[in-house]
């Protein structure tokens, strides 16, 4: 709660506009990562190409709201819908494939979207790019837009938290840990995978629209493949099967290269090193590491109780049969 209040009042105490922009960027990324987390962290489908869906949402918003001058709200909803449809089209063939094949299919999807955004120049502006309109009053200022992003991010977090909390989430984890066993106890494996993937497509479309509006100008170079890798790394580093972990991962990984200048020069090399370190040392993710530390810090439960047998009652029970 205190954290929420802190986040909500950020525009009034943030040092400068750049920090506010960074916070808004984290929120936009998180909207995508929250949906992707259900796919990667819970269902265990390693999608490394969600940047393609982000690009689809961004271009849909830029074209609908910019060129056809739709209301940004309707365009935002449409971007989410288009993201969901693309998720469905991508998921239908690829979710049937085993692990590495699926990862390659999503990577190929990201490359295809990058290719199409360059090739379909009269729709997307080609290499020149498109300018993206901002949202109407009161969301046209940096502070207002940040609050809008924060609101949507909280909504999405709450949504995914609900999915994870209820038997749905358990079924997803079952699919991740053992698909054959999950199927044998009646989990509709493919349908659930597809539903979660479409949901992640919708959040990616929404995130793309908001991200595009935040950046105010998009080109195919905005959506490099490494950005998809970045989302993926956020989740793995944060820890699979958790929501707080990836949230922290997104916030830290977005902010760190901006605040520590030498890391920005290393860029994606830094993400690669981080991913390798996490996979080799703590495959459960940093979030799990925190849990272990917290468990250590907490006062220990009393180790043992000495049980005194109630001999009188025992003797009586033996004498009278089983009456108490």
Site residues, other proteins (CB under 8 A): 44, 46, 48, 93-94, 97, 99-101, 103-105, 107-109, 111-112, 115-116, 118-119, 180, 225-226, 229, 236, 266-269, 271-273, 275-276, 279-280, 283
Q: How far is the CB of 271 from other proteins (least distance, A)?
A: 7
Residue closer to other proteins by CB (options 265, 305) is 265
Give the burial class of 308: count Cβ atoms within 10 A of its Cβ; 0-12 exposed, 13-18 middle, 19 or more buried: exposed
Q: How far is the CB of 203 from other proteins (least distance, A)?
A: 22
CB-based contact 63:78 (threshold 8 Å): no
Task: Give, in order, the Cα–Cα distances in Å from 96 to each of 90, 104, 190, 192, 278.
Answer: 11, 13, 7, 12, 28
Task: Give, in order, the Cα–Cα distances in Å from 240 to each of 80, 151, 185.
Answer: 25, 25, 23
Element (H, E) at 217: strand 217-218
Residue 122 structure tokens: 């009269």
Residue closer to other proteins by CB (options 127, 188) is 127
Residue 18 structure tokens: 């750049």
Residue closer to other proteins by CB (options 8, 282) is 282
Residue 117 structure tokens: 């955004």
Q: How far is the CB of 140 from other proteins (least distance, A)?
A: 36
Beta bridge partners of 131: 217
Residue closer to other proteins by CB (options 148, 176) is 176
Residue closer to other proteins by CB (options 4, 92) is 92
Q: How far is the CB of 277 from other proteins (least distance, A)?
A: 8
CB-based contact 38:163 (threshold 8 Å): yes
Q: How far is the CB of 227 from other proteins (least distance, A)?
A: 12
Q: How far is the CB of 35 from other proteins (least distance, A)?
A: 20
CB-based contact 91:193 (threshold 8 Å): yes
Residue closer to other proteins by CB (options 36, 153) is 36
């Amino acid at each position: 709660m205190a954290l929420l209040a802190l986040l909500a009042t950020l525009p009034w105490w943030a040092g400068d506009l750049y920090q506010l922009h960074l916070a808004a960027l984290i929120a936009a990324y998180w909207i995508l990562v929250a949906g992707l987390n259900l796919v990667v962290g819970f269902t265990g489908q390693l999608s490394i190409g969600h940047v393609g869906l982000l690009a689809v949402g961004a271009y849909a918003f830029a074209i609908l709201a910019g060129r056809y001058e739709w209301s940004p709200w309707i365009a935002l909803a449409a971007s989410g819908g288009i993201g969901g449809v693309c998720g469905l089209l991508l998921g239908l063939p690829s979710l049937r494939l085993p692990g590495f094949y699926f990862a390659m299919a999503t990577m190929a999807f990201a490359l295809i979207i990058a290719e199409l955004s360059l090739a379909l120049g009269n729709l997307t502006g080609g290499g020149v790019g498109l300018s993206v309109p901002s949202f109407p009053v009161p969301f046209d200022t940096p502070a207002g837009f940040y609050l809008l992003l924060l609101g949507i991010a909280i909504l999405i977090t709450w949504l995914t938290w609900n999915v994870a909390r209820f038997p749905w989430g358990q079924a997803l984890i079952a699919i991740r840990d053992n698909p054959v066993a999950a199927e044998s106890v009646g989990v509709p494996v493919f349908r659930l995978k597809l539903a979660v993937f479409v949901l992640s497509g919708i959040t990616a479309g929404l995130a793309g629209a908001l991200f595009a509006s935040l950046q105010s100008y998009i080109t195919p170079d905005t959506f490099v493949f490494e950005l998809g890798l970045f989302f993926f790394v956020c989740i793995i580093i944060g820890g699979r099967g958790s929501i707080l972990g990836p949230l922290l991962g997104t916030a830290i990984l977005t902010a760190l290269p901006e605040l520590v200048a030498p890391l920005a020069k290393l860029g994606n090399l830094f993400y690669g090193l981080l991913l390798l370190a996490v996979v080799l040392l703590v495959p459960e993710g940093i979030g799990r590491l925190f849990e272990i530390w917290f468990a250590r810090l907490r006062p220990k439960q009393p180790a043992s109780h000495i049980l005194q047998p109630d001999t009188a009652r025992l003797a009586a029970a033996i004498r009278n049969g089983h009456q108490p």
